[in-house]
Chains A and B, each alone.
Chain A
């Protein structure tokens, strides 16, 4: 299809080289973590580990999987992410569809939503709100507060806008209602957009640790990111009061590395699944202009 000029070939090589370099630079740090998770404590302290384990052992992993807190938190994160994404997507797609049309008061509504994106009350009001609504300590405290994100809403709206109006009009003529059009026309055609936004929301839920620490009183209820925060950050504390026993209780680097690695795994695996939706040409031939 493309003219295979010499310039193009050169460009192609350059392109590949650059991209592969970029890919490697992103991958190597994780490889380093992986190597650490399989290495012995002495080797890590002595900084002998680069990309390959030294003093190979799987202790870090067996400890991690036997650790009820870790596996429990992982379950919570999974539940929260699925639940949160489902709820968010439902709200956002319906809202985005409606907002991509014109109707009385639409602009006002839109600016209200933008306002909420920028202004929030801060820690105390949010906390009071969540607690007085009775959500504290339940999974709803993690799922509901962020469900209506204006940023994602705007993204979705713009994806919807790229769908030719002609399609919608044709469907109207055929007697379809708003809902039918939404379900059968807009949703299927904006798959890349849907995939993108749901990925953002999923990642947001998976990585968020602050709300977990704030709203959950029982560590068994922590989502994974909060749990990691206590394990990894705790040992980076600068406090002078670190006593011998606290230092000894600190998780070893190999365990930290294993936990970080395992917690990134699920979300990494999600992306390849969604890549199918980033396919060209869905709108191909639908509109004859």
Chain B
């Protein structure tokens, strides 16, 4: 379908073949390069931050001695994951607006001008990444908590006996044991490297921040509103998948060569 001018009533065999035209169109768009750049920047930031923070939080949480607090925090932090972006965006627009709660705090504490989180192109990407982090870190932590739970305590005992402090234990026992899983998750995240989060951006972006906030998916959405062109949409999807595939293969090979670890 990606190589056709697909019309639903003509079906697969009836629609006209147009070769690479659909793919050409992706690049014809003026903002195409910008959209791809934005997508990459946002997606990579999300992946990096989205791996790093949950790991740190998981380790910190596993250090908590009080079971009650530990369990409640675990449950609380994974709540935002269940709200849809429509709901969260609504709250965010309220909270981060020029007259919103956060800016009130900032102006009264620091006496500076309010910060236009959602309207300043240079801040927009950061706002997106941080809010996405907030929404998903609790959930991302779960895998790491499970991994930490699976670490053989005898390792810790051995380290203890060798005189290691808590920090050294974390560095030399916990992290290495988590490494395989971290690599797996990192590699699998490459599969979504060109998915910078349509739902979130669609609900939060506005004309002021198109230059930094427009991603491939929002562009495809806007143009397909006009023409329901399935061929084009499929071509874009194919394009994204091919890139992801290449990246995953590279990561797989790297992990194998460097760490002698087969991710799958």
Point out residues on A near B: beta carbons under 8 Å.
1-3, 5, 8, 11-12, 15-16, 18-20, 22-27, 29-30, 32-33, 99, 110, 114-115, 117-125, 151, 154-155, 157-159, 161-162, 190, 192-193, 195-196, 199, 203, 207, 228-229, 232-233, 236, 260, 264, 267-268, 271-272, 275, 278-285
Contacts and interface: CB of A to CB of B under 8 A. Distances in A.
21 contacts: A3-B166, A23-B72, A29-B80, A29-B91, A114-B248, A118-B241, A125-B1, A151-B191, A154-B188, A154-B263, A158-B180, A158-B264, A161-B180, A192-B146, A192-B149, A207-B84, A264-B79, A281-B153, A284-B153, A284-B154, A285-B154
B143 interface: yes
User: Which 10 A-B pairs give the minimum distances between C-beta atoms?
Assistant: A192-B146, A23-B76, A23-B73, A196-B146, A264-B82, A278-B149, A192-B149, A119-B241, A281-B153, A122-B234
B86 interface: yes
A222 to B, nearest CB: 15
Contacts of B72: 23
A154 B184 contact: yes
Main DSSP-derived SS at the A contact region:
helix
B197 interface: no
Contacts of A279: 149
B91 A32 contact: yes
Given A110-B264, A283-B150, A118 B87 contact: no
Q: At the interface, is chain B mostly helix, strand, loop or mixed?
A: helix
Interface in B83-116: 83-84, 86-88, 90-91
B162 to A, nearest CB: 13
A275 B61 CA distance: 13
Identify the interface centre among A19, A24, A268: most chain B CB within 10 Å of its CB. A19
B142 interface: yes
A18 B184 CA distance: 28
Contacts of B244: 118
A27 B86 contact: no
Given A32-B91, A157-B264, A192-B150, A23 B191 contact: no
